[in-house]
Structures are given as C-alpha cells and as structure tokens.
C-alpha cells in the first residue's frame, strides 16, 4: 500500500512538472508539452528478507481480542478483585498500549525515501522500536511493582473513582 501511494505521489509530481513546464499553472489553456519524468522505481521494503514469513492477520486478530477483552476484564476485576486480577489487568493493559504505540511508530517512523528512491534515516526505526520496548517494559515493571508493594492497580482505580 505504501508503494502504491509513493507511485501516485510520483505521478502527481510528474503532472505538476508538466503543468509548470507548459505554463498551465499561469494560463487556463496550455499547449501540450512532453517533459520527461523520472522512471518510477520500487524501493525495497525495510524487511527485505524473503525467507521470513509473518502471518499478520493472526497478530491483528490477537490485538482485537485483547482490546475487546479489556471491555470485560475491567468490570470483572473491579467486581472480583484480588492480586491475580490486578496482574491480569496490568498485562492486558500494557499489551494493548504496546501494540497500539507500535502500530503508530511503524506507521509514522520509518526510513524515508529520498529523491533517488533509496531510503534515508534507516537508523530511526530500530531506535523507535527500542523506545517502544523500553516504555512497555518500564510500564509493566512499574505496574507490577505497584501491584506487589501497594494496594494494586484495581484498588487504585476504585480509590480514584470515589474521590
């Protein structure tokens, strides 16, 4: 899909060059002028290893199951309570947040194509991936620590709800 949008944008740039070269940006009717455009090339994806196959539909379904289960887990954990429910809610919440932020980072932080079609800033996605994992592990460790040493995340939510 990203390749298709790149091709469409390249086509728009070529049309814009045609209109500028022919003067149609300044006049309503322009003579037909042919301006050579750069050949469209498909750049390789970041993970170009053909031997690695992933089933993204299974991961997507798992994300939907966790997100939907949070709708039922929160009321059940508030009603039932206990340390096991605190850890269940903590795990589901951190997984949901991790997958959500991972999707946002993958959509908006990637190696940007340059004018020549090659990717630039290839160091950025691994750093962003490291930041996601650091935030997720820190959040999970902090919530588990709070569950273990204090009243637990569910009781915290109950206390915040009553004030």
Q: Which residue has the higher pLDDT, 154 or 15?
A: 154
Q: What pLDDT digit, counting tens, does each position of 99-134 carry?
A: 999 988 888 887 676 677 777 778 888 899 999 999
Indicate the pLDDT class of residue 47, thresholds 50, 70 and 90. low
The residues, ordered by sequence, that sit 6+ positions from 13 with a Cβ below 8 Å of its Cβ are 37
pLDDT at 99: 92
Tokens matching residue 148: 């273990």
- Across 52-61, 68-77, 92-101, which has the greatest mean pLDDT? 92-101
Q: Work out the average pLDDT over 146-160.
A: 91
129 CB-contact burial (10 Å; exposed 0-12 / middle 13-18 / buried 19+): middle
Give the helix/strand (H/E) hosting 112: strand 112-113
pLDDT of 90 > 70? The answer is yes
CA 3 centroid distance within chain? 17
Strand partners, 113: 119
The per-residue pLDDT for 11 is: 47
Contact 122, 113 (CB under 8 A): no
pTM for the whole structure: 0.60
Please state, rounded to an integer, the average pLDDT across all residues of the chain. Answer: 75
- Residue 39: pLDDT band (50, 70, 90) is low
What is the DSSP secondary-structure string of 109-157? Answer: SSPEE-TTS-EE-TTHHHHHHHHHHHHHHHHHHHHHHHHHHSS-HHHHH
Q: Who has greater pLDDT, 34 or 107?
A: 107
Lowest mean pLDDT among 78-92, 101-115, 140-154: 101-115
Please report which confidence band the pLDDT of residue 59 belongs to, taking 50, 70 and 90 as the band edges: confident
pLDDT band, very low/low/confident/very high, at 7 (cuts 50, 70, 90): very low
């Amino acid at each position: 899909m990203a390749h298709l949008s790149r091709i469409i944008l390249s086509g728009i740039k070529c049309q814009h060059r045609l209109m500028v070269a022919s003067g149609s940006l300044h006049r309503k009717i322009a003579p037909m002028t042919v301006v050579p455009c750069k050949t469209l090339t498909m750049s390789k994806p970041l993970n170009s290893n053909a031997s690695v196959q992933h089933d993204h539909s299974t991961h997507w379904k798992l994300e939907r199951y966790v997100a939907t289960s949070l709708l039922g887990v929160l009321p059940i954990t508030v009603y039932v309570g206990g340390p096991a429910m605190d850890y269940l809610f903590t795990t589901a919440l951190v997984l949901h947040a991790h997958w959500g932020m991972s999707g946002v980072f993958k959509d908006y932080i990637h190696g940007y194509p340059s004018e020549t079609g090659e990717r630039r800033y290839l160091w950025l996605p691994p750093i962003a991936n490291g930041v996601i994992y650091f935030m997720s592990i820190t959040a999970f460790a902090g919530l588990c620590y709070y569950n273990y040493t204090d009243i637990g995340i569910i009781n915290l939510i109950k206390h915040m709800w009553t004030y």
